[in-house]
A and B are shown apart, each in its own frame.
Chain A
Amino acid sequence: MASSSTSLKRREQQPMSREGDQLIVTPLGAGNEVGRSCVYMSFRDKTILFDCGINPAYSGMAALPYFDEIDPSTIDVLLITHFHLDHAASLPYFLEKTTFKGRVFMTHATKAIYKLLLTDYVKVSKVSVEDMLFDEHDINKSMDKIEVIDFHQTVEVNGIKFWCYTAGHVLGAAMFMVDIAGVRILYTGDYSREEDRHLRAAELPQFSPDICIIESTSGVQLHQSRHIREKRFTDVIHSTVAQGGRVLIPAFALGRAQELLLILDEYWANHPDLHNIPIYYASPLAKKCMAVYQTYILSMNDRIRNQFANSNPFVFKHISALNSIDDFRDVGPSVVMASPGGLQSGFSRQLFDIWCSDKRNACIIPGYMVEGTLAKTIINEPKEVTLMNGLTAPLNMQVHYISFSAHADYAQTSTFLKELMPPNIILVHGEANEMMRLKQKLFTEFPDGNTRIMNPKNCESVEMYFNSEKMAKTIGRLAEKTPDVGDSVSGILVKKGFTYQIMAPDDLHVFSQLSTATVTQRITIPFSGAFGVITHRLGKIFESVESSTDEETGLPALKVHERVTVKQESEKHISLQWSSDPISDMVSDSIVALVLNISREVPKIVAEEEVAVKSEEENGKKVEKVIYALLVSLFGDVKLGENGKLVITVDGNVAHLDKESGDVEGEHEGLKERVRVAFHRIQSAVKPIPLSAE
Chain B
Amino acid sequence: MGTSVQVSPLCGVYNENPLAYLVSIDGFNFLLDCGWNDLFDPSLLEPLSRVASTVDAVLLSHPDTLHLGALPYAMKQLGLSAPVYATEPVHRLGLLTMYDQYLSRKQVSDFDLFTLDDIDSAFQNVIRLTYSQNFHLSGKGEGIVIAPHVAGHMLGGSIWKITKDGEEVVYAVDYNHRKERHLNGTVLQSFVRPAVLITDAYNALYTNQTQSHHRDTEFLDTISKHLEVGGNVLLPVDTAGRVLELLLILEQHWSQRAFCFPIYFLTYVSSSTIDYVKSFLEWMSDSISKSFETSRDNAFLLRHVTLLINKTDLDNAPPGPKVVLASMASLEAGFARDIFVEWANDPRNLVLFTETSQFGTLARMLQAAPPPKFVKVTMSKRVPLAGEELIAYEEEQNRLKREEALRASLVKEDETKASHGPDDNSSEPMVIDTKTTHDVVGSHGPAYKDILIDGFVPPSSSIAPMFPFYDNTADWDEYGEVINPDDYVIKDEDMDRGAMHAGGDVDGRLDEATASLMLDTRPSKVISNELIVTVSCSLVKIDYEGRSDGRSIKSTIAHVSPLKLVLVHATAEATEHLKQHCLNSICPHVYAPKIEETIDVTSDLCAYKVQLSEKLMSNVIFKKLGDSEVAWVDSEVGKTESEKRCLQPMASAAAPHKPVLVGDLKMQDFKQFLASKGVQVEFAGGGALRCGEYVTLRKVGPTGQKGGASGPQQILIEGPLCEDYYKIRDYLYSQFYLL
Let me know if B133 and A153 touch, CB within 8 A. Answer: yes
Let me know if A303 and B630 touch, CB within 8 A. Answer: no
Residue B222 at the chain A interface, CB threshold 8 Å = no
Tell me, yes or no, whether A526 is within 8 Å of chain B by CB. Answer: yes
Q: Would you call A650 an interface residue if the criterion is a C-beta within 8 Å of the partner chain's C-beta atoms?
A: no
B504 touches A306 (CB 8 A): yes
Main secondary structure of the interface of B (DSSP, over half): mixed
B661 interface contact, C-beta 8 A: yes
Across-interface contacts of B282 in A (CB, < 8 A): 108, 148, 150, 296, 298
- Which of B652, B656, B664, B711 is in CB contact (< 8 Å) with A514? B664
Q: Which interface residue of A155, A494, A583 has the most chain B CB atoms within 10 A?
A: A494
Q: Are A500 and B612 in contact (CB under 8 A)?
A: yes
A153 and B629 contact, CB distance less than 8 A = no
Instruction: Answer whether residue A643 sits at the interface, using C-beta atoms and an 8 A cutoff.
Output: no
Take A470-B611, A471-B611 as given contacts and tell me if A592 and B721 are in contact as well, using a CB distance cutoff of 8 Å: yes
Contact: A487 with B637, CB < 8 Å?
yes
A208 within 8 A of B: no
Which chain A positions have C-beta within 8 A of B736?
517, 519
Evaluate contact between A150 and B131: CB separation under 8 angstroms: yes
- Pick the contact of A490: B496, B499, B654 (CB < 8 A): B654
Whether the Cβ atoms of B632 and A493 lie closer than 8 Å is: yes
B495 within 8 A of A: yes
A490 to B635, Cβ gap below 8 A? yes
Residue from A152, A292, A482, A510 in contact with B608 in the complex, judged by beta carbons closer than 8 Å: A482
B633 engages A292 (CB within 8 Å): no
* Bound CA–CA A389/B636 (angstroms): 82
The residue in chain B whose Cβ has the minimal distance to the Cβ of A517 is B713
- Inter-chain contacts of B687 with A (CB < 8 A): none
Q: Which residues of A contact B133 (CB under 8 A)?
A: 150, 152-154, 163
Contacts of A474 in B (CB 8 A): 607-610
CA of A484 to CA of B638, assembled, Å? 8
Complex CA distance for A495 and B657, rounded to whole angstroms:
20
Expressed in whole angstroms, the Cα–Cα distance for A599 and B121 within the complex equals: 92
Chain B residues closer than 8 Å to A140, beta-carbon distance: 294
> Which B residues, 588 to 635, have Cβ-Cβ distances below 8 Å to chain A?
605-612, 614-615, 617-620, 622, 625-635
Whether A514 and B628, one on each chain, are in contact in the complex, defined by CB atoms closer than 8 angstroms, is yes
Chain A residue nearest to B508 (CB atoms) is A309
Least Cβ–Cβ distance between A316 and chain B, in angstroms = 15
- Residue A581 interfacial (CB < 8 Å): yes
Which residues of A485-534 are within 8 A (CB) of B? 485-496, 500, 502, 505-506, 508-526
Q: A389 to B660: give the CA distance in the assembly, Å.
A: 81
- Known contacts A500-B612, A518-B712, A524-B721: does B656 contact A490 (CB below 8 Å)? no
- B655 CB within 8 Å of chain A: yes
B497, closest chain A residue (CB): A303
Which of chain A's residues has its CB closest to B192's CB? A513
A17 at the interface (CB under 8 A from B): yes
Residue count of chain A within 8 Å CB distance of chain B:
94
Residues of B close to A151: CB separation below 8 A: 130
B302 within 8 A of A: no
Residue of A nearest to B629 (CB): A495
Q: How far does the Cβ of B142 sit from chain A's closest Cβ, in whole Å?
A: 13
CB closest chain-A residue, reference B488: A310
Given known A307-B495, A494-B629, A581-B658, contact A295–B607 (CB-CB < 8 A): no
Residue contact B630 to A680, C-beta cutoff 8 Å = no
> Does any Cβ of A come within 8 Å of B364's Cβ?
no
Q: Does B551 contact A (CB under 8 A)?
A: no
Contact B663 A581 (CB under 8 A): no
CA of A660 to CA of B659, assembled, Å: 27
A72 touches B (CB below 8 Å):
no
Q: Which residue of B lies closest to A207 (CB)?
A: B136
* In the assembled complex, B206 has its CB within 8 A of some CB on chain A: no
Q: Are B626 and A471 in contact (CB under 8 A)?
A: no
Instruction: Flag if B715 contacts A518 (CB, 8 Å).
Output: yes
A33 to B609, CA, bound (A): 47
A684, B656: Cα distance in complex, Å: 9
Q: Please, which residues of chain B bring their CB within 8 A of the CB of A683?
A: 653
For A288-320 the 0/1 string (1 means CB < 8 A from B) is 100110011110001101111110000000000
Check B281–A295 contact: CB distance below 8 A.
yes
* Residues of chain A lying within 8 A (CB to CB) of residue B662: 492, 505, 508, 514-517
Shortest CB distance B499–A (Å) = 4
**With A153-B131, A296-B279, A476-B605 given, is the CB distance from A494 to B630 under 8 Å?**
yes
Tell me how far the C-beta of A669 lies from the nearest C-beta in chain B, rounded to whole angstroms: 9
Kindly provide the distance from the CB of A283 to the nearest chain B CB, expressed in whole angstroms.
16
**Contacts A307-B492, A475-B606 given: A518-B714 contact, CB under 8 Å?**
yes
B134 on interface, CB distance cutoff 8 Å:
yes
CB contacts (< 8 Å) of B725 on chain A: these are: 523
Of chain B, the residue at the smallest CB distance from A481 is: B606
**Contact A470-B612, Cβ < 8 Å, known A495-B629, A512-B628, A522-B716:** yes
**Is A651 close to B, CB under 8 A?**
no
CA gap between A108 and B292 in the complex, in Å: 10
B451 part of interface (Cβ distance < 8 Å): no
Mask, A225-248, CB within 8 Å of B = 1, is 000000000000000000000000
Least Cβ–Cβ distance between B317 and chain A, in angstroms: 26
Q: Which of B289, B620, B628, B709 contacts A496 (CB 8 A)?
A: B628
Are A302 and B500 neighbours in the complex by a CB distance under 8 Å? yes
Contact in complex: B712, A517 (CB < 8 Å): yes
Question: Is there an interface contact between A515 and B713, defined as CB atoms closer than 8 Å?
Answer: yes
**Least distance between A511 CB and chain B CB atoms (Å):** 6
For the complex, give the distance between the alpha carbons of A517 and B609 in Å.
Answer: 27
Report if B278 contacts A (CB, 8 A).
yes
In Å, the complex CA distance between A683 and B192 comes to: 42
The answer to whether A479 has its CB under 8 Å from any CB of chain B is: yes
B166 contacts chain A at the CB level, 8 A cutoff: yes
CB contacts (< 8 Å) of A520 on chain B: these are 700, 714-717
Residue of B nearest to A663 (CB): B652
**With A298-B280, A305-B505 given, is the CB distance from A472 to B612 under 8 Å?**
yes
Contact between B606 and A298, CB atoms less than 8 A apart: no
* Interchain CB contact under 8 A, A493 and B717: no
Interface residues of A in 138-169 (CB under 8 A from B): 140, 143, 148, 150-155, 163
Chain A residue, CB-CB nearest to B559: A513
* Contact indicator B610/A516 (Cβ below 8 Å): no
Complex Cα–Cα for A595 and B492 (A): 97
As a 0/1 sequence over residues 494 to 526 of chain B, the CB contacts with chain A under 8 angstroms (1 = contact) are 011011100011111100000000000000000
Question: Beta-carbon contacts of A268-301 to B below 8 Å, as 1s and 0s?
Answer: 0000000000000000000010011001111000
> Interface of A with B (CB < 8 Å)?
17, 108, 111-112, 115, 140, 143, 148, 150-155, 163, 206, 288, 291-292, 295-298, 302-303, 305-310, 469-477, 479-480, 482-496, 500, 502, 505-506, 508-526, 580-583, 592, 662, 673, 677, 680, 683-684, 690, 693-694
Can you name 24 A-B pairs with beta carbons within 8 Å?
Answer: A17-B618, A108-B293, A111-B293, A152-B130, A297-B279, A310-B509, A472-B647, A475-B605, A479-B606, A484-B637, A492-B662, A495-B629, A502-B610, A505-B739, A514-B663, A516-B662, A516-B713, A519-B736, A521-B718, A526-B720, A581-B659, A673-B615, A677-B619, A693-B659
**Apart from A489-B647, A523-B719: 18 A-B pairs, beta carbons within 8 A:** A17-B614, A108-B289, A112-B293, A291-B296, A295-B281, A298-B282, A472-B612, A475-B605, A479-B606, A490-B632, A514-B626, A516-B660, A516-B661, A516-B662, A518-B661, A524-B720, A526-B721, A694-B656
Q: When A and B form their complex, which 7 residue pairs have the shortest distance between CB atoms, in order from nearest?
A: A522-B718, A152-B133, A309-B505, A479-B606, A309-B508, A581-B659, A517-B713
